[in-house]
Structure 1
Amino acid sequence: MPIGSESGTGLAPDPVPEYAAWRKGVAGVLAKARRVDAAELPDEPEHLLDETTYDGLTIAPLYTRRDELPEQPLPGTFPYVRGGSATRDPQRGWFVGAFAGTGDAEATNRTILTGLENGVSAVALGVGAHGVAVADIPVALRGLLFELAPLTLVAGPDVTAAAARVYEVLDGYALTDRAQIQVGLGAAPLTSAFSGAADIDLDTALAMAAGSIARPETVRAITVDGIAFHNAGAADAQEVGAAVAAGLAYLRALTAAGVDISDAFGQLEFRFAATDDQFATIAKFRAARRLWARVAQVCGASAFGAAPQHAVTSAAMMTQRDPWVNLLRTTLAAFGAGVGGADSVTVLPFDSALPVGELGVSESFSERMARNIQLLLLEESRLGHVQDPAAGSWYVDALTDELAAKAWEFMQELEAAGGYQAALESGLIAARIAETAAARGSDIAHRKTAVTGVNEFPNLAEAPLSEQARAEASAVRYGAAFEALRNRSDAFLAATGARPKALIVPLGPVAEHNARTIFAANVLASGGIESVHPGPLTVDGIAAAATDSGAPIAVLCGADKRYGEEAGAAVDALRAAGIATVLLAGPEKAVARYSGTQRPDGYLTLRIDAVAVLSQLLEKVGA
């Protein structure tokens, strides 16, 4: 698109005439940062600031009227991008979900009623291995006003018996308009087949769905669980595309069993993960509705394409280390899901990656914090008072459009492979998601992607985790590799009384070494290695500092010019003092020419594989 007004050229004027000035400013900043002449930059230098998601989408640094898209139809109208309902209560917003199921029915009932009295408006009941016994369901649900609080079962292979028991409770519940009662049975055989979770088989789920259709309540038997893909490492478009492919497989199976297409759509609901990438989360829920609406349109059932969406804050993004940061993560995730139009949102407790009581806080406190995150968003920020408040945002609309296209492309790839079940059996779904998980893992290991409190800004002063917590570490979580290093440090501390140590050797004045000393200490701490920082050292003082520290590792920190003058002698002094491993903060080219007889053993730079380097350092010190 041309820059500025092009009067007389036959070209339309630029909708953002200020864009040329902004582009010139960007070029100036980039030229200065890269130490090049602005003329050496591309014609559109702003694209050097583009970011690429794991789905391959390009995120631009600025969105303007150039990116404007046609306004989507109103909420409750096909293709439901702006929301599935035109009549959602603005005083309520989305449903505030919470899980209950301790194994004891009376305690579970108290949890449910206490939650409902304090802001919860949707209940997920754990049954069997997930919570109360099937026979105790009536006790657990005693006092629940079903028309006000939707109920979802989390029952795995016990869902058939659990559903029968819930129906018995509902049959004795007095209500004239029984369609107000919303129940989700939670059967998820196709997505459970991917995750390996115990569940009923597809034929049993189809039979349950047929029985649900005959009920006077609004019952949906099947949950299409996108979280199964998310927890395996899927990117957003992969999660949505795989979920839609699974939903399509359910539709085919239901209609093949004789269920009318409109009734088949009425038996499905979706569950997706909400992450701390708030804009991606907003776009994901909007894009997922668009895709499912398109499926309904192709099936000739456009009016039934607004399946309910349940959001659960991502378990993969949660951390065991510095877990209080999880409060911020889940707040962003709940915000994204709510603004994105999820019908209900469940926030995981901030300490959900740890055993109960690990932090010395009660389970009720953690549950209250999770609940109140949503209540603050709904009742103080009043986010639920406007449907699809992100609509009209050039960024959100563009991201929704691009994410929907990429998710549809992934779904089509699965369809071309024979459909969801064939793609599952062939390993295609797992292979594609594994590629994304590996790319994300590499970015985290190289600290290109920050996990606050884990690979960035770690807090070595926090109490070591219990053996139970270390044993329960999950590979699903993004920070798991770094937390495994911290576990090794904790074990070393328990065995020796001290953490693994490394001596920071600052060369020159503070202005020269400060950035690299902070960087080195941060990297070391992410692997559980404590830094000993004696302050600026001369070459003559290095040996004494090394002896006093008792550290087997040293890291030289200074400016490149200073390295050329002093690094050689510093390495020699550290070797002579008995330091076994000497690293240098900076690239190897910084010491291409120096007078020392020995070279550093390694180099700490911004993009090293920190997990691999730190693991090797821990091995060297016996951790």
Structure 2
Amino acid sequence: MTSETDDLRLAADFAPASYDDWRKLVDGVLKGAPFEKLVGTTSDGLRIEPIYRRAANTAPVTGRAATAPWQVMQRIDHPDASAANAQARHDLENGATGLTLVFAGANGAHGYGLAPTAETIEKVLDGVFLDAGIAIELEVGPQSRMAAINLAEYIKRKDIPPGACNIRFGLDPLGACAVWGSSPYSWEEIVPALTSGIKGLAALGFKGPFAPGDGRVIHDAGGSEAQELAFVLAAGVAYLRALESTGVALEVARRMIYARLAADADQFLTMAKFRALRLLWARIDQACGLEPQPVFVAADTAWRMLTRRDPYVNMLRATMATFSAGLAGANAITVLPHTLALGLPDPLARRVARNTQLVLLEESNLAKVSDPAAGSGGIETLTQQLCEAAWSLFQEIEKAGGLFAAFQQNLIQRKVAATRAARETDIARRKTVLTGASAFPNLGEAHVAVLDAQPVALESYGEAKFKFDALPPIRLAAPFERLRDKSDETLKARGARPKVFIANLGTPADFTARATFAKSFFETGGIEAVDAPAFADPATLASAFKSAGAGFVCLCSSDKVYAEQALAAAKALQAAGAKHIYLAGRPGEQEAALRDAGIGDFIFAGDDALAMLQQAWQRMEQT
């Protein structure tokens, strides 16, 4: 047994490792390849180095106080008010410290949500003690905006002091305009309605905050981190100006505004984004001539990262997102249940969403340290880069005349569209992997239960007089999932899925890697891969293919075996009735000869898998 002193002496025997030492080792591994090969980039074009030095002269980013836990928020979105009340009471009894009341038509409703009526609020909040420290956040849209007034009237009827309530009212007309791509009113007409509502609630004694800069709008639409941050700043400043124009002092107005960001499974970028928002908002305070104060930052785990296929992986995504937002100082976190993309989550999904936060708080103690990322070279660098990129875009929005004017010029929408297109290309090529959807599919996955509920019907908001490009929410896995849906429909109608025969040539050492790749490749598109044993010669392989009953086939082996047998195998398969032949691997110099022999397409890492699978479906539907 060694003592602690011995351990320290052992460590001292090793020379300190420097960056130059590391570079020498890396250069040896690269063998002449450029170092830039190891440098990544974000959607904003920011560099991500493979290693960073410790950041010097840094201080923690001021946000949530050390040892202060974030608010554990739970979505209440069941259209049936009685069921929603049962959910709310159960969540509060089992660890939630706040409720996110999601009303139909809100940006984050995703098809469901509460009716914005006084009767609904009365039922939903029955037995919920609003003056007992419970946090409430409203998610409302233009059609459900009366929910805020109805909640205030409910509190008045119950003789609850408004100042004793912790309510974020969620009044966000700019976020709604962005998602809808239209508005019945100009910004000049929106301002008096918005500010009178906020001032009226404040006059009743509510502390707020009342209006969010909601970055989820950009994130859900496929935008980048800097675009999301710039949107939050621009919305926040627009609301500040609106309030100031109606006589509210900036010192008071800033406390009426809060921020909401999406947290996704990219740990370091999510942490850097939340930290950057703190620094950027402090700069807004300074520009207003105010001493900076931490803005309240709410977090939702990201909608766009949810998958309908293999939804249990969403639990892991949500855990990483919550971990990242919590470490980066979010004041409140709402975890989207892992089955939300499939429908209204059942009690199990809701419990998992709630417990994701409770385990990280109570067992992992994530809230015990304030800004633990301070001094980390990588995260500090990303934070500063995001600050610079977001501030530059914010200035561009301001030069355009503010956020509403930028909508009308499609300034933001064009940038988000370009980012979304690049992101979709990476997903189509499987450069960005979505486990269970674009990689590692399970065609036999079990049915996942969701609740059966009828969404609330809302009245029309009014004629869209001001129109511009919309920023609707997307899910990144949707293109691959549409192919899986077609496969399920085919199975239901015909009793079998479309199939591709995996033709393995040579020994397992020759074909295993590419056969595994090919199986995953085709099954991400819902095309069942028919496994086969090894075949030593093309004639035996062709005979086995004919017996399998699959019209399509994929050759799998090593480059050496391809050079020796691929041409003969392709001709034999074609003679056996193969309607289309794929080969796993890059064609190289043999491409012309292989195509002449009957090879139709080549599948390999980095190619457009989605396009290839869509073409496969077109061929199968034509045969």
Q: Tell me the alpha carbon deviations over residues 13-69 of structure 1, each in whole angstroms, 9 at most, x when there is no partner.
A: xx98622221111112222xxxxxx4xx44xx2x3201000011111111223xx14
In structure 1, what is the equivalent of residue 195 of structure 2?
206
Residue identity in the other structure for 2:165: I
Residue identity in the other structure for 2:330: A
Structure 1 contact 101–132 (Cα < 8 Å) conserved: no
For 1:608 and 1:400, the matched residues in 2 are separated by 33
Q: Identify which of 356, 359, 362 aligns with 1:373.
A: 356
Secondary structure at the aligned position of 1:213 is classed as: helix
Could you tell me how far 1:217 is from its partner in structure 2?
3.1
Residues 239-250 of structure 1 aligned to structure 2 (within 5 Å)? 239-250=228-239
For 1:619 and 1:466, the matched residues in 2 are separated by 32
For 2:552 and 2:563, the matched residues in 1 are separated by 21
Secondary structure at the aligned position of 1:366 is classed as: helix
Seen in structure 2, the aligned counterparts of structure 1 residues 593 and 155 have a Cα distance that, compared at 3 Å, is: closer
Could you tell me how far 1:216 is from its partner in structure 2?
2.6
The answer on 1:20 being equivalent to 2:20 is: yes
For 1:475 and 1:100, the matched residues in 2 are separated by 20
For 2:104 and 2:449, the matched residues in 1 are separated by 28
In structure 1, what is the equivalent of residue 411 of structure 2?
428
The answer on 1:141 being equivalent to 2:141 is: no
Structure 1 contact 127–134 (Cα < 8 Å) conserved: no
Could you tell me how far 1:466 is from its partner in structure 2?
11
Q: Tell me the alpha carbon deviations over residues 177-233 of structure 1, each in whole angstroms, 9 at most, x when there is no partner.
A: x64532111111011100119999443211112223323331222121111111111
Seen in structure 2, the aligned counterparts of structure 1 residues 475 and 220 have a Cα distance that, compared at 3 Å, is: closer
Secondary structure at the aligned position of 1:187 is classed as: coil
The answer on 1:409 being equivalent to 2:392 is: yes
Seen in structure 2, the aligned counterparts of structure 1 residues 204 and 19 have a Cα distance that, compared at 3 Å, is: same
Residue identity in the other structure for 1:70: N
For 2:148 and 2:379, the matched residues in 1 are separated by 39
Please say which of residues 553-562 and 164-173 is displaced more in the overlay: 164-173
The answer on 1:157 being equivalent to 2:142 is: yes
Could you tell me how far 1:292 is from its partner in structure 2?
1.1
For 2:210 and 2:594, the matched residues in 1 are separated by 74
Residue identity in the other structure for 1:392: G
Could you tell me how far 1:355 is from its partner in structure 2?
2.3
For 1:58 and 1:100, the matched residues in 2 are separated by 40
Residues 179-190 of structure 1 aligned to structure 2 (within 5 Å)? 179-190=163-174
In structure 2, what is the equivalent of residue 484 of structure 1?
482
In structure 2, what is the equivalent of residue 295 of structure 1?
284
Structure 2 contact 343–451 (Cα < 8 Å) conserved: yes
For 1:126 and 1:203, the matched residues in 2 are separated by 25
In structure 2, what is the equivalent of residue 584 of structure 1?
583
Work out which structure has the larger RCO, using CA pairs closer than 8 Å and 6 or more positions apart in sequence: 2
In structure 1, what is the equivalent of residue 540 of structure 2?
541
Q: Tell me the alpha carbon deviations over residues 230-260 of structure 1, each in whole angstroms, 9 at most, x when there is no partner.
A: 1111111111111111211111222122221
Residues 344-359 of structure 1 aligned to structure 2 (within 5 Å)? 344-356=332-344
Residue identity in the other structure for 1:384: A
Q: Identify which of 313, 316, 321 aligns with 1:333.
A: 321
Residues 51-70 of structure 1 aligned to structure 2 (within 5 Å)? 51-65=40-54, 68-70=55-57
Q: Identify which of 276, 289, 309 aligns with 1:321.
A: 309
Seen in structure 2, the aligned counterparts of structure 1 residues 114 and 373 have a Cα distance that, compared at 3 Å, is: same
Secondary structure at the aligned position of 1:207 is classed as: helix
For 1:452 and 1:400, the matched residues in 2 are separated by 28
Secondary structure at the aligned position of 1:186 is classed as: coil
Residues 22-171 of structure 1 aligned to structure 2 (within 5 Å)? 22-31=22-31, 38=32, 41-42=33-34, 45=35, 47-65=36-54, 68-72=55-59, 81-83=61-63, 85-86=64-65, 90=67, 93-127=69-103, 130-136=113-119, 137-142=121-126, 143-157=128-142, 161-171=146-156
Residue identity in the other structure for 2:322: A
Structure 1 contact 489–499 (Cα < 8 Å) conserved: yes
Structure 2 contact 570–597 (Cα < 8 Å) conserved: yes
Please say which of residues 324-333 and 399-408 is displaced more in the overlay: 399-408
In structure 1, what is the equivalent of residue 516 of structure 2?
518
Secondary structure at the aligned position of 2:597 is classed as: coil
In structure 1, what is the equivalent of residue 295 of structure 2?
307
Structure 1 contact 569–595 (Cα < 8 Å) conserved: no
Q: Tell me the alpha carbon deviations over residues 112-144 of structure 1, each in whole angstroms, 9 at most, x when there is no partner.
A: 222111111111223466314522223322332
For 1:382 and 1:593, the matched residues in 2 are separated by 61
The answer on 1:224 being equivalent to 2:213 is: yes
Structure 2 contact 221–473 (Cα < 8 Å) conserved: no
Unaligned runs of 5+ in 2: 1-14, 106-112, 456-471
The answer on 1:238 being equivalent to 2:238 is: no
Structure 2 contact 116–145 (Cα < 8 Å) conserved: no
Residue identity in the other structure for 1:139: K
Residues 387-402 of structure 1 aligned to structure 2 (within 5 Å)? 387-402=370-385
In structure 1, what is the equivalent of residue 431 of structure 2?
448
For 1:598 and 1:160, the matched residues in 2 are separated by 66
For 2:144 and 2:289, the matched residues in 1 are separated by 31
For 2:145 and 2:180, the matched residues in 1 are separated by 19
In structure 2, what is the equivalent of residue 567 of structure 1?
566
Q: Tell me the alpha carbon deviations over residues 287-317 of structure 1, each in whole angstroms, 9 at most, x when there is no partner.
A: 01111110111011234x4221110010100
Give the alignment's TM-score, normalised by structure 2.
Answer: 0.87
For 2:298 and 2:502, the matched residues in 1 are separated by 49
For 2:181 and 2:403, the matched residues in 1 are separated by 17
For 2:343 and 2:154, the matched residues in 1 are separated by 33
For 2:411 and 2:380, the matched residues in 1 are separated by 30
Give the alignment's TM-score, normalised by structure 1.
Answer: 0.87
Secondary structure at the aligned position of 2:208 is classed as: strand
In structure 2, what is the equivalent of residue 35 of structure 1?
none
Residue identity in the other structure for 2:70: W
Residue identity in the other structure for 2:211: I
Secondary structure at the aligned position of 1:153 is classed as: strand
For 1:443 and 1:165, the matched residues in 2 are separated by 45
For 1:140 and 1:596, the matched residues in 2 are separated by 65
For 1:197 and 1:122, the matched residues in 2 are separated by 31
For 1:385 and 1:595, the matched residues in 2 are separated by 62
Residue identity in the other structure for 2:548: S
- Aligned-pair RMSD on alpha carbons? 2.6
Same amino acid, percent of matched pairs: 38
Structure 1 contact 585–605 (Cα < 8 Å) conserved: yes
For 2:289 and 2:620, the matched residues in 1 are separated by 66
Structure 1 contact 274–312 (Cα < 8 Å) conserved: yes
Could you tell me how far 1:600 is from its partner in structure 2?
0.9
Residue identity in the other structure for 2:282: A
For 2:332 and 2:73, the matched residues in 1 are separated by 6
Could you tell me how far 1:146 is from its partner in structure 2?
2.8
Seen in structure 2, the aligned counterparts of structure 1 residues 274 and 596 have a Cα distance that, compared at 3 Å, is: closer
